């Protein structure tokens, strides 16, 4: 089952296609070049669009004096609430420091302390300072800048911007051998075309736009997870949507991307206060404001309900030199009429990160031959039920390198694509009601009843089909598919764990110490299985 498109009008070919130009896609592309493979990097908007450039807090890696990968591992496992894949965590924390050193060698500049050492801060769930940051709170912009400069310098990487990957092309046996693309303003390659390759790496980032309020940019419509599902690949842990606890609450805000107030602000001493001006995290967790993200988001949600208020407060007035340490956040607060040096900041949770995604092994291979996934799109299992702060940029760096090495070590022939069996498309007008329904019934807190009601709304929306392929329709159809997968996973998981909070099953259960894996077969039938996690 594929999305409805126009007839392909052109063809292009490379050894490997990388879809997406965030930390995961750029790292994979650069590492592939070490083996001299030709790379076609396609990205659906401008090359620097995506979550990477918005990343604030930093990158976690055991680089500080006295820190070790083992301590990083412990914190990652605690945050992951019993559902981390230990082998994936081991890879992340042990290969992480070298990956960060390589990024520095590629030109990324991180903030230094007064003594000239790399400055390390703290975020939720970390028992020690281990977060490298750049430009104060503009870490992602610096990572993106450094990687893009390296990509621009490499003639073996062809970049096509405004190139939306719609679906993968598959051989008669189901192996992936390219993608269908829609390109705007690229001369002879305008409109729908086919890009052929021996391997395809999906690095399309997150799916925050499934919800009405998110920290994610507009491109984060989860296209990669949706196209992997349509290709028959397994996805895992999709019910674990991480809601960032401290997103700037704005009275007049409409939906879409909202400004983030980094956890690092709490790392530098900011406190959470309820409507009565009282701290509420102290008695809830030994790390108080720096408890893992799911725990803080949940307590904020409870405080908001109890006081019938749309937000709580983040008091950052004691943070030294706020405007220098957090220039981006300072500017966005001022833009919204708040001076964080003298006023508490109104904050509320919003969708932030997909801890699950396309199920991959330690080399980024999906369950479909020739198809790899990297970064937020992928589920390596390293995040379990809740990602530890600042482990995401790190995951893109570490697994991007592993995927490139695996592709180089396993040369594959160029296969012939087969025509896809059936096509469908939904009306772009479903996007807004879908986002509202998901926030209402499948958000921070869910229950069997709220999920059932949301599913009913989605099923109604699915009757609004379209015969006019366009970017908005492809994205809306992808959001629909993801919303269904999230609801199916959330309804199945009858417990509360990590960022999955069921009001009707408020405790974690040993019976659910397992991963929920979903896939869609070639007849469009959904399947679910479990994977035990030790």
- Under the criterion CB under 6 A, does residue 180 sit at the interface with ligand SIN? no
Pattern 192-221, binding to ligand FAD, x per CB under 6 A?
Answer: -----------xxxx--------xx--xx-
- The DSSP annotation for 305-324 comes to HHHT-S-EEEE-TTSTTHHH
133 or 230: whose CB is closer to ligand SIN?
Answer: 133
Buried b (16+ CB within 10 A) or exposed e, 418-436: eebeeeebbbbebbeebbb
Closest approach of Cβ 189 to ligand FAD, in Å? 14
Q: Which of 51, 369, 366, 12 is nearest to 163 (CA)?
A: 12
Provide CB contacts within 8 A for 25, sequence distance 6+: 18, 19, 41, 43, 201, 203, 374, 375, 400
Euclidean distance between CA atoms 295 and 124, whole angstroms? 10
State the binding partner of 219 from ligand SIN, ligand FAD, none, CB within 5 to 8 A by kind.
Answer: ligand FAD
State the binding partner of 4 from ligand SIN, ligand FAD, none, CB within 5 to 8 A by kind.
Answer: none
Residue 176 β-bridge partners:
170
Euclidean distance between CA atoms 96 and 86, whole angstroms? 15
In the numeric block, the tokens 């986002």 are attached to: 435
User: Which tokens sit at 476?
Assistant: 């809306």
57 or 417: whose CB is closer to ligand SIN?
Answer: 57
- Under the criterion CB under 6 A, does residue 157 sit at the interface with ligand SIN? no
Euclidean distance between CA atoms 200 and 369, whole angstroms? 10
223 or 268: whose CB is closer to ligand SIN?
Answer: 268
Pick from 229, 389, 458, 520 the residue near ligand SIN by CB under 6 A.
389
Provide CB contacts within 8 A for 193, sequence distance 6+: 8, 9, 10, 11, 12, 180, 181, 183
Closest approach of Cβ 117 to ligand FAD, in Å? 20
Question: Of the residues 266, 293, 497, 519, which is catalytic?
Answer: 293
Site for ligand FAD in 145-174 (CB under 6 A): 163-165
Closest approach of Cβ 214 to ligand FAD, in Å? 8
State the binding partner of 223 from ligand FAD, ligand SIN, none, CB within 5 to 8 A by kind.
Answer: ligand FAD
382 dihedral zone (left: phi>0; alpha: psi -120 to 50; beta)? alpha
C-alpha radius of gyration, the chain, whole number: 22
- Under the criterion CB under 6 A, does residue 120 sit at the interface with ligand FAD? no
244 or 446: whose CB is closer to ligand FAD?
Answer: 244
- Under the criterion CB under 6 A, does residue 289 sit at the interface with ligand FAD? no
Residue 271 β-bridge partners:
315
351 or 392: whose CB is closer to ligand SIN?
Answer: 392
Provide CB contacts within 8 A for 505, sequence distance 6+: 494, 495, 496
Provide CB contacts within 8 A for 388, sequence distance 6+: 60, 75, 76, 79, 80, 125, 126, 292
**For residues 239, 240, 245 and 250, what is the CA-based torsion angle, rounded to 10 degrees?**
-40
Pick from 22, 50, 57, 364 the residue near ligand SIN by CB under 6 A.
57
Cα angle at 270 between 322 and 93, to 5 degrees? 95
C-beta nearest to ligand SIN: residue: 57
- Under the criterion CB under 6 A, does residue 443 sit at the interface with ligand SIN? no
- Under the criterion CB under 6 A, does residue 29 sit at the interface with ligand FAD? no
Pattern 195-224, binding to ligand SIN, x per CB under 6 A?
Answer: ------------------------------
State the binding partner of 51 from ligand SIN, ligand FAD, none, CB within 5 to 8 A by kind.
Answer: ligand FAD
Pairing state between β 357-359 and 176-183? unpaired
91 or 165: whose CB is closer to ligand FAD?
Answer: 165
22 or 498: whose CB is closer to ligand FAD?
Answer: 22
293 is catalytic: yes
Pattern 36-65, binding to ligand FAD, x per CB under 6 A?
Answer: ------xxxx---xxxx-xxxxxx------
Q: What is the size of the binding site for ligand FAD (CB under 6 A)?
A: 45
Site for ligand FAD in 431-450 (CB under 6 A): none
Active site residues: 293
Contacts with ligand FAD, residue ranges (CB under 6 A):
19-25, 42-45, 49-52, 54-59, 139-140, 163-165, 203-206, 215-216, 219-220, 223, 260, 353, 375-377, 390-393, 396
Contacts with ligand SIN, residue ranges (CB under 6 A):
56-57, 262-264, 353, 389-390, 392
């Amino acid at each position: 089952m594929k999305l409805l498109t126009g007839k392909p009008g052109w063809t292009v070919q490379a050894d490997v296609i990388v879809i997406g130009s965030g930390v995961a896609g750029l790292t994979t592309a650069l590492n592939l070049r070490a083996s001299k493979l030709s790379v076609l990097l396609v990205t659906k908007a401008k090359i620097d669009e995506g979550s990477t450039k918005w990343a604030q807090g930093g990158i976690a890696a055991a680089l500080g004096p006295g820190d070790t990968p083992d301590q990083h591992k412990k914190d990652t496992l605690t945050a992951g609430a019993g559902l981390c894949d230990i082998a994936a965590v081991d890879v992340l924390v042990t290969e992480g420091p070298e990956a960060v050193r390589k990024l520095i060698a590629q030109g990324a500049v991180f903030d230094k302390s007064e003594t000239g050492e790399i400055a390390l801060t703290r975020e939720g769930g970390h028992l020690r300072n281990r977060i490298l940051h750049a430009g104060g709170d503009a870490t992602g912009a610096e990572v993106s800048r450094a990687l893009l400069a390296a990509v621009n310098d490499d003639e073996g990487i062809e970049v096509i911007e405004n190139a939306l990957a719609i679906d993968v092309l598959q051989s008669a046996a189901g192996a992936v051998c390219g993608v269908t693309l829609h390109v705007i303003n690229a001369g002879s390659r305008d409109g729908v075309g086919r890009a052929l390759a021996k391997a395809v790496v999906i690095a399309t980032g997150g799916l925050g736009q499934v919800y009405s309020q998110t920290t994610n940019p507009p491109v984060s419509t989860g296209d990669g997870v949706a196209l992997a599902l349509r290709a028959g690949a397994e996805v895992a842990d999709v019910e674990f949507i991480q809601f960032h606890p401290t997103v700037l609450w704005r009275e007049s805000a409409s939906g879409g991307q909202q400004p983030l107030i980094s956890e690092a602000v709490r790392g530098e001493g900011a406190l959470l206060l309820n409507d009565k001006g009282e701290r509420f995290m102290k008695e809830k967790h030994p790390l108080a404001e720096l408890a893992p993200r799911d725990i803080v988001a949940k307590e904020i949600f409870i405080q908001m309900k109890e006081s019938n208020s749309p937000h709580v407060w983040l008091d950052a007035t004691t943070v030294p030199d706020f405007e220098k340490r957090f220039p981006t956040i300072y500017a966005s607060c001022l833009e919204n009429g708040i001076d964080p040096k003298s006023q508490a900041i109104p904050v509320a949770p919003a969708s932030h990160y997909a801890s699950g995604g396309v199920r991959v092994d330690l080399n980024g291979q999906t369950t479909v031959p020739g198809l790899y996934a990297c970064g937020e799109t992928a589920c390596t299992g390293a995040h379990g039920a809740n990602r530890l702060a600042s482990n995401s940029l790190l995951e893109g760096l570490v697994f991007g390198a592993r995927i490139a090495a695996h592709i180089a070590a396993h040369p594959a022939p160029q296969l012939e694509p087969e025509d896809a069996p059936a096509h469908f498309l939904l009306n772009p007008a479903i996007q807004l009601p879908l986002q509202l329904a998901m926030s209402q019934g499948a958000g921070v807190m869910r229950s069997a009843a709220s999920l059932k009601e949301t599913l009913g709304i989605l099923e109604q929306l699915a009757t609004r089909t379209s015969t006019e392929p366009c970017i908005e329709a492809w994205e809306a159809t992808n959001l629909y598919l993801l919303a269904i997968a999230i609801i199916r996973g959330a309804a199945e998981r009858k417990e509360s764990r990590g960022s999955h909070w069921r009001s009707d099953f408020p405790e974690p259960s040993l019976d659910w110490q397992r991963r929920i894996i979903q896939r869609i077969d070639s007849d469009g039938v959904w399947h679910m299985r479990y994977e035990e996690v030790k």
